């Protein structure tokens, strides 16, 4: 979506699709009514349905105002066979009822009898998936037309990649974006991708740079181990570190995802959230460093901590510290080269940038070696 009017029209179409899904008088989708328990999908649809190429996993908790649009955006996708698995985490609103009333055989609803957390939702969706690829869509976000086909094609084109991701827009709580915000967001993210193309470095410095419409190979998730159900948040970040430590990731350089920002995201609250997120990311990185003998994503312990401190400076708005941190990293990289070994990937000449599609080459040649958990 390169034009604001085009994006606005797409968002209007998604809202229309959501209204049709939730309108009791609407025509049912091909495939007939779902079973009485509210579940449907390839098992319910029988042999007539083609096997899905991608399973969309959608954990949900009290998402009633938004989930119909999220589901509508998925079911509108063309050029790819899909199934959608919604895991309702014991919502106290009408989330489960809205999903259960959708009459499309590609949709399955799984319900928790008590609150289990986002990690459990991801793991349960993975267990229920039939497709070789798993795409995550949050229950209050939407994906744009052609998104799933693009992710599937990217992973087919790069069989070594463990995960694909894309660019995204940020919408307001009502699912809209002003023309000025549209232009500003595109310019900022495109510049950031050009100036800082190394996603491994970005994961440590900035956090979830590989988050939007993250699409995994199911066998990669099985190899990495389950999502950490003990984490209250940053579950996807922890998984991203484990995957990026052993597999390359590929960026689809298109704006295919729209993330909803809710009321209360003032500059002050965003700063507090950024600080809380950084504290959690630091704990996760330190734990993985201990488990991996002091190396993570091709970096040593000191380099990881310097990059994390750079992220802290960003979270606190202390931009004047960035130059000093860059100088420290350059100095360490220079010392490493003088000792006759490769640097940690902080130089522009290292493999941290990778190919035009996959931003980095694997950090380790034995990427299918020891398990993460």
pLDDT in 10s for each residue of the chain, 373 residues: 668 999 999 999 999 999 999 885 655 444 443 433 334 444 444 456 789 999 999 999 999 999 999 999 999 999 999 999 999 999 999 999 999 999 999 999 999 999 999 999 999 999 999 999 999 999 999 999 999 999 999 999 999 999 999 999 999 999 999 999 999 999 988 887 775 568 999 999 988 788 899 999 999 999 999 999 999 999 999 999 999 999 999 999 999 999 998 765 445 566 788 888 999 999 999 999 999 999 999 999 999 999 999 888 877 877 555 555 566 666 666 666 666 655 444 333 333 433 333 333 333 333 333 333 3
pTM above 0.85, yes or no: no
Kindly state whether residues 307 and 253 are assigned to the same domain. no
Length of the chain: 373
CA nearest neighbour of 310 among 211, 203, 191, 216: 203
Kindly state whether residues 253 and 334 are assigned to the same domain. no
C-alpha angle 189-193-197 in degrees, rounded to nearest 5:
160
Kindly state whether residues 230 and 315 are assigned to the same domain. no
The pLDDT value recorded for residue 366 is 34
Q: Report whether 300 contacts 343 (CB < 8 A).
A: no
Domain count, the chain: 2
The reply to whether 170 falls in a domain is yes
The pLDDT value recorded for residue 352 is 41
Tokens representing 197 are 């193309």
Residue 179: DSSP 8-state: H
The reply to whether 16 falls in a domain is yes
Kindly state whether residues 68 and 177 are assigned to the same domain. yes
The reply to whether 354 falls in a domain is no
Kindly state whether residues 204 and 297 are assigned to the same domain. no
Kindly state whether residues 150 and 222 are assigned to the same domain. yes
C-alpha angle 144-71-235 in degrees, rounded to nearest 5:
85
Q: Tell me the residue range of the domain where 46 lies.
A: 4-260
Tokens representing 26 are 């609407």
Burial of residue 371 (number of CB atoms within 10 Å: 0-12, 13-18, 19+): exposed
Residue 11 parent element (H or E): helix 4-22
The pLDDT value recorded for residue 29 is 45
The pLDDT value recorded for residue 249 is 96
The pLDDT value recorded for residue 32 is 40
Kindly state whether residues 193 and 316 are assigned to the same domain. no
What whole-number distance in Å separates Cα of residue 214 and Cα of residue 54? 12
Kindly state whether residues 90 and 183 are assigned to the same domain. yes
Kindly state whether residues 204 and 318 are assigned to the same domain. no
- Radius of gyration of the chain from its Cα atoms, rounded to whole angstroms: 21
Kindly state whether residues 178 and 51 are assigned to the same domain. yes
The pLDDT value recorded for residue 181 is 93
Kindly state whether residues 42 and 160 are assigned to the same domain. yes
The reply to whether 286 falls in a domain is yes
The pLDDT value recorded for residue 358 is 37
CATH of the domain at 65: 3.90.550.10
CA nearest neighbour of 86 among 161, 21, 165, 164: 21
The reply to whether 343 falls in a domain is no
């Amino acid at each position: 979506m390169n034009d604001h009017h085009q994006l606005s029209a797409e968002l209007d179409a998604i809202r229309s699709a959501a209204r049709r899904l939730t309108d009791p008088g609407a025509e049912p989708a091909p495939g007939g009514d779902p079973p009485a328990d509210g579940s449907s999908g390839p098992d319910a649809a029988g042999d007539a349905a083609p096997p899905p190429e991608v399973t969309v996993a959608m954990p949900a908790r009290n998402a009633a105002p938004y989930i119909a649009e999220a589901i509508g955006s998925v079911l509108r996708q063309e050029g790819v066979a899909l199934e959608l698995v919604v895991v309702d985490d014991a919502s106290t609103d009408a989330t489960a009822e809205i999903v259960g009333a959708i009459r499309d055989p590609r949709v399955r609803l799984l319900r928790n009898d008590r609150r289990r957390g986002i990690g459990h939702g991801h793991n349960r969706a993975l267990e229920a998936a039939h497709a070789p690829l798993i795409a995550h869509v949050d229950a209050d976000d939407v994906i744009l037309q052609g998104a799933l086909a693009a992710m599937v094609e990217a992973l087919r084109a790069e069989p070594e990649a463990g995960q694909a991701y894309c660019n995204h827009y940020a919408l307001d709580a009502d699912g809209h974006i002003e023309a000025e915000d549209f232009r500003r967001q595109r310019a900022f993210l495109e510049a950031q991708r050009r100036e800082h193309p190394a996603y491994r470095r970005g994961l440590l410095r900035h956090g979830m740079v590989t988050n939007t419409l993250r699409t995994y190979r199911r066998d990669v998730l099985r190899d990495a181990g389950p999502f950490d159900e003990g984490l209250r948040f940053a579950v996807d970040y922890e998984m991203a570190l484990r995957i990026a430590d052993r597999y390359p990731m590929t960026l689809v350089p298109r704006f295919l995802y729209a993330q909803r920002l809710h009321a209360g995201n003032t500059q002050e609250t965003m700063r507090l959230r950024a600080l809380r997120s950084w504290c959690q990311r630091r704990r996760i990185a330190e734990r993985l460093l201990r488990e991996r003998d002091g190396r993570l994503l091709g970096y040593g312990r000191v380099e990881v901590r310097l990059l994390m401190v750079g992220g802290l400076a960003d979270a606190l708005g202390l931009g004047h510290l960035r130059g000093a941190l860059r100088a420290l990293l350059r100095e360490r990289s220079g010392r490493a080269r003088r000792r006759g070994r490769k640097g940690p990937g902080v130089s522009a000449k290292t493999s941290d940038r990778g190919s035009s599609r996959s931003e980095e080459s694997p950090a380790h040649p034995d990427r299918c070696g020891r398990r993460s958990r």
